[in-house]
Chain A
């Protein structure tokens, strides 16, 4: 009887250790996912399936792993010319805040920053963050951009008046891309950032052309 109890207690301890190890081995920061398998979505704050927290499912997901590795290929030279974005592209694929590329910048030039969100829950993670009171100043789902679900995002009330606006786009259920635009105050940065988002999603949809 005692031996059986001991065995049962050991079993319970082992289960507890296993559970603890599972809960502590799923950090999401800086661990971008490459594929689209639902099994790995346990990284997304303990959620079991994607999408969650009201995020839309990406109807036609694309694999963006090669763009994550080379973030500056998300906008082509022609697109940059059309958008009027000047200046050298600055890639930063190892950034702790997510693989990213920046174009332009300065007092008079428009600056574009494209970031691959460093979570593995895609738009679902951003929808989850939005449920925290006051996290985003503005978080408004938009019409799909080239078929990809999109959200207009302002982190605080100062952004718009300072010529700053961002779009979050779900490229697949696990990967979201943020397009952040900074321009001279007085324009309409949210309209402009949508144009950049259209270009970037077109490139990724077409596989880089």
Chain B
């Protein structure tokens, strides 16, 4: 979801702001302007596709989460020290990966929900405007 994809995520804010933090992380303790940590600007006509991309991204991350969870079920091959080390590294790597993936999932989930709420709001306003116009034309 970059400019190359034709989406204008962050498009109304061309210069990255120093205080903008990655999803889910507050910039320097300042209150977050949005749950996702960054304001999004998406053309309403393309918002549906943006939502689909976010959904796919979450799905991919969940797949990684599945695999990192399974790392914790790996049994050490033998009873000697290298085997102990192997199993511990597999478990620790899995744990670290899971924490990172969950953070990413939560950030994308917040973006998705915020964008969806904004889009719903936009559609409601558009319908209301259309109704008003029809009433005025009668």
Interface flag for A97 (CB, 8 Å):
yes
- The complex places the Cα of A162 from the Cα of B95 at a distance, in Å, of 15
Given A128-B75, A180-B66, verify A106-B99 contact (CB < 8 Å): no
Partner of A113, one of B66, B73, B112, B113: B66
Q: Which residue of B lies closest to A46 (CB)?
A: B79
Q: Which residue of A lies closest to B55 (CB)?
A: A106
Q: Is the CB of B73 within 8 A of A98?
A: yes
- The complex places the Cα of A190 from the Cα of B56 at a distance, in Å, of 25
- The complex places the Cα of A164 from the Cα of B19 at a distance, in Å, of 32
Could you say which of B54, B73, B95, B108 has the most chain A C-beta atoms within 10 Å of its C-beta?
B73
- Could you give, for residues 16-28 of chain B, a 1 whenever the CB lies within 8 Å of some chain A CB and a 0 otherwise? 0000000000000
Closest Cβ of chain B: how far from A123's Cβ, in Å? 11
Q: Which residue of B lies closest to A136 (CB)?
A: B72
- The complex places the Cα of A98 from the Cα of B69 at a distance, in Å, of 11
Q: Is the CB of B70 within 8 A of A97?
A: yes
Q: Which residue of B lies closest to A105 (CB)?
A: B59
Interface residues of A, dominant DSSP: loop
Closest Cβ of chain A: how far from B82's Cβ, in Å? 11
List the B side residues contacting A118 at CB < 8 Å: 70, 73-74
- The complex places the Cα of A155 from the Cα of B106 at a distance, in Å, of 18
Interface residues of B, dominant DSSP: helix
Given A97-B71, A126-B73, verify A111-B62 contact (CB < 8 Å): yes
List the A side residues contacting B36 at CB < 8 Å: none
- The complex places the Cα of A37 from the Cα of B11 at a distance, in Å, of 63
List the A side residues contacting B65 at CB < 8 Å: 164, 182
Q: Is the CB of B95 within 8 A of A155?
A: yes
List the A side residues contacting B69 at CB < 8 Å: 113, 155, 166, 178, 180
- Could you give, for residues 67-99 of chain B, a 1 whenever the CB lies within 8 Å of some chain A CB and a 0 otherwise? 101111111111110000000000100110011
Q: Which residue of B lies closest to A162 (CB)?
A: B102
Interface flag for B58 (CB, 8 Å):
yes
List the B side residues contacting A128 at CB < 8 Å: 75
Partner of A158, one of B63, B76, B80, B102: B102
Given A100-B70, A135-B91, A155-B98, verify A107-B112 contact (CB < 8 Å): yes
- Could you give, for residues 119-143 of chain A, a 1 whenever the CB lies within 8 Å of some chain B CB and a 0 otherwise? 1010001101100000110000000
- The complex places the Cα of A26 from the Cα of B94 at a distance, in Å, of 24
Could you say which of A23, A44, A97 has the most chain B C-beta atoms within 10 Å of its C-beta?
A97
Question: CB within 8 Å of B: which residues of A?
Answer: 23-24, 26-29, 44-46, 95, 97-98, 100, 102, 105-108, 111, 113, 115, 117-119, 121, 125-126, 128-129, 135-136, 155-156, 158, 162, 164, 166, 178, 180, 182, 184
A-B contact pairs, 30 of them (CB 8 A): A24-B78, A28-B76, A29-B74, A29-B75, A45-B76, A45-B78, A46-B78, A46-B79, A97-B71, A97-B73, A98-B73, A102-B66, A105-B62, A106-B58, A106-B62, A111-B59, A113-B69, A119-B74, A119-B75, A125-B73, A125-B75, A129-B73, A155-B72, A158-B98, A158-B99, A162-B106, A164-B65, A166-B69, A180-B69, A182-B65
A-B pairs with lowest CB-CB distance, top 4 = A97-B70, A105-B59, A106-B55, A119-B75
